[in-house]
Structure 1
Amino acid sequence: MRNLLLAGKPGPLTRLLAFAATTFALVAPAQAADLPKELKLDYAYYSPTSLVLKRFGWLEESVGKDTKVTWVFSQGSNRSLEYLNSGGVDFGSTAGLAAVLSRANGSPIKTVYIASRPEWTALVVGKDSPIKTLEDLKGKKIAATKGTDPFLFTLRSLETVGLDKNDVELVHLQHADGRAALEKGDVDAWAGLDPLLAASQLQAGSRILHRNLDFNSYGVVSVTEKFAKQYPQAIDKVLAAYEKARAWARENPEELAQILSQESGLPLEVAKLQLERTDFSNAQPGAEHIAALKAAAPILVSEQLVRRGTDVNAVVEQLIEPAFGKQVIASK
């Protein structure tokens, strides 16, 4: 193209086009191909495949010695999103609905992978609690981590019996602190998250008060729009590694439980209970996940968790990005 542009007498426009063509040829392919010098990913007990990926080092092998892989521990979706939006991680593991809430409130993130469909959240009470129904929670203290799936699960569950956040006292605690508060009797209920939920059931006799699989959003992996535009090849590399971890997890459930137990420091039976409630079958973001997240959109609006006038359905459409997954996710 450059030779054709320069064949005639080079006027100002010709010179400008030639410069642009040369610049594109030199810069654009390199930008698309380059990996960053460091890839930062979170890992979490609620995301078992992240533990597998961290354990076996498959991503490190894939990107080679010129790219450093750094792992950052996430206690919950809120922490993961904080890291993602601050640049502390490039890939964040969260609940799908928490990602929607973050995007709706101005964080330019894209969900590029479905790590699992867990039933990781339920409302639980102490083993000797007199509370028997959701209605009994009126006026009671409920521990929940604000901005996470358990928090939103709580609001949606209360809504089904005509209650809202003003009818209870929400105590904003990180997941582990919420468990401790329940078992000490400092709160009346806790919106639990596996594996801590499974541990509280097995070790303290905590009782599930209310469960609803449809109110559990998917475990997702998200990136910022800036990172997606700058390093698309890095996303392909990371998702391919996640796919390897997902395939291994499905083929080796006993070993997966052992890894989860070792990483979390919880007994093996706790890990097994969590994994019994976790489905790794569909990693491709798509219509199923969009529909599930849109079903939860009204609670974000009614509870004023998003800015007034926000079209949450449009936010969901903007959040879910299937293109990267279609290139690397293994055929079913």
Structure 2
Amino acid sequence: MNITTRKVKLVLLLIISIIGLLLTGACSNEGTKNSSSASSNVKEESDKEKTKVNIAINGGLNLLTIAKYKGWFEEEFKKENAEVNWVEFQSSAAVLEAIASNRVDFSFVGEGSLVTGITSKIPMKAISVTGVEGNQNSIIVQPGSPIKTIADLKGKTIAIAKASSAHIFLIKALEKNGLKESDVNLIQLEPTEALPAFQTGKVDAWGTWDPYVTTEVEEGRARIVESVKTMNFLSPALMIGSDKFLHEHPDLAATYLKVYQKTVDWLPDNIDEAADILAEEKKMDKKLVKMILQNNHYINSPISEDISKSVQSTADILYKLGTIREEVDIDKAYDNSFLDEALKK
């Protein structure tokens, strides 16, 4: 073999080696690219599969605030590839609007709001009872008032948030004492408006709930005429869930109620800590918060026949008042199956 031929072969070998290296590098880059793309796709799929649970806190003092502070919902839902989104509203009306627009999956409302929501075709169900004393709904008067009984309210001016649980309580209290709503002069005032009107004597009485009741009584500015406790009335607060979420994620609905039950069970032995949490979160006096917690009975129970009768009577009252435009069979608004599953977990 001559020198020229040898040089040609060497050049060819060099070219083949370079081409091989280039091809190897290209394959390696493509593999890395494909691997990176696959990892990205897995992450995207994981994010897509994660369910968002929208929980609304409906003002006031409630156990959802404690569970949020403790991170108990986040802890449980993480196990089921779900994440929590918290929102807060100052009224049940805002909660109902948010459920209708699929911005809220779970919250709680009073019986009056449940009725108005159902008649407004809000897609929701009541899934448990969270209280039966309606946040201490009461009729209060100033300490020196001559009003001693419900019967004494005849002809008097009463501040009330119409269609609220306190309004329903007042109507039932009047009826039990042989009076009608037309026998008193009702002034429509939301709590923030009613408070100064009550304190300055512009109204004779105020139908309201906690924390206003306990605050005014403890500060010596009010006396309770009657309350749901003294009259032995049921005035239930109810946990609600959106129909869409309940249908698509029944297991997560059960998990939600399981965590709420955990909070209910935790409270009695941890009143001081609960008061610390709520006082900090709501910017209220701890002593006052503790009193309110002790005055209310927090539960997480099935919707019983007694509760159903109470809510039905509320629906009938609201229909007579013209607050709702049609009669309603409230039994269709309940579903205890999610709580049944929660208590098995």
The TM tier, using the shorter chain, reads 0.7 to 0.9
Which residue of structure 1 lines up, in the alignment, with residue 66 of structure 2? 52
1:109 aligns to 2:127 (yes or no)? no
Asked if the contact 2:57/2:87 (under 8 Å) is kept, the reply is yes
1:321 aligns to 2:341 (yes or no)? no
1:94 aligns to 2:112 (yes or no)? no
Asked if the contact 1:53/1:242 (under 8 Å) is kept, the reply is yes
Which residue of structure 1 lines up, in the alignment, with residue 37 of structure 2? none
Question: Which of 141, 146, 150 is the matching residue for 1:130?
Answer: 146
1:243 aligns to 2:283 (yes or no)? no
Counterpart CA distance in 1 for 2:58 and 2:299 is 19
Shift of 1:291: 3.2
Is the alpha carbon distance of 1:84 and 1:232 closer, same or farther for their aligned partners in structure 2, counting shifts above 3 Å? same
Counterpart CA distance in 2 for 1:257 and 1:102 is 32
Question: Which of 185, 199, 207 is the matching residue for 2:223?
Answer: 207
Output one character per residue of 1:261-295: Cα deviation in whole Å (capped at 9) or x when no partner.
Answer: 22332222322222222223452333342233234
Which residue of structure 2 lines up, in the alignment, with residue 256 of structure 1? 274
Is the alpha carbon distance of 1:322 and 1:153 closer, same or farther for their aligned partners in structure 2, counting shifts above 3 Å? same
Counterpart CA distance in 2 for 1:330 and 1:130 is 53
Shift of 1:232: 1.9
Counterpart CA distance in 1 for 2:249 and 2:122 is 18
125-134 or 80-89, larger mean C-alpha shift:
80-89
Asked if the contact 1:286/1:322 (under 8 Å) is kept, the reply is no
Aligned partner of 2:337: which letter?
A: A
Output one character per residue of 1:173-228: Cα deviation in whole Å (capped at 9) or x when no partner.
Answer: 33333233211323222112112211111124211112233434222110222232
Output one character per residue of 1:220-270: Cα deviation in whole Å (capped at 9) or x when no partner.
Answer: 110222232123233122112211211111331222222232233222232
Asked if the contact 1:250/1:280 (under 8 Å) is kept, the reply is no
Asked if the contact 1:45/1:260 (under 8 Å) is kept, the reply is no
Counting only pairs closer than 5 Å after superposition, residues 160-239 of structure 1 correspond to structure 2 as 160-213=176-229, 214-239=232-257
1:42 aligns to 2:56 (yes or no)? yes
Which 5+ residue runs of structure 2 have no aligned equivalent? 1-48
Asked if the contact 2:67/2:260 (under 8 Å) is kept, the reply is yes
Which residue of structure 2 lines up, in the alignment, with residue 272 of structure 1? 290
1:72 aligns to 2:87 (yes or no)? yes
How high is the sequence identity, in percent, across the aligned residues? 26
Counterpart CA distance in 1 for 2:334 and 2:221 is 38
Counterpart CA distance in 2 for 1:329 and 1:177 is 42
Report the TM-score when normalising by structure 2.
0.75
Counterpart CA distance in 1 for 2:50 and 2:149 is 52
Is the alpha carbon distance of 1:171 and 1:86 closer, same or farther for their aligned partners in structure 2, counting shifts above 3 Å? farther
1:286 aligns to 2:304 (yes or no)? yes
Larger-gyration structure (1/2): 2
Counterpart CA distance in 2 for 1:191 and 1:88 is 31
Output one character per residue of 1:281-318: Cα deviation in whole Å (capped at 9) or x when no partner.
Answer: 4523333422332344432333233324x1x3x2x211
Is the alpha carbon distance of 1:286 and 1:216 closer, same or farther for their aligned partners in structure 2, counting shifts above 3 Å? closer
Asked if the contact 1:47/1:93 (under 8 Å) is kept, the reply is no
Number of equivalences: 295
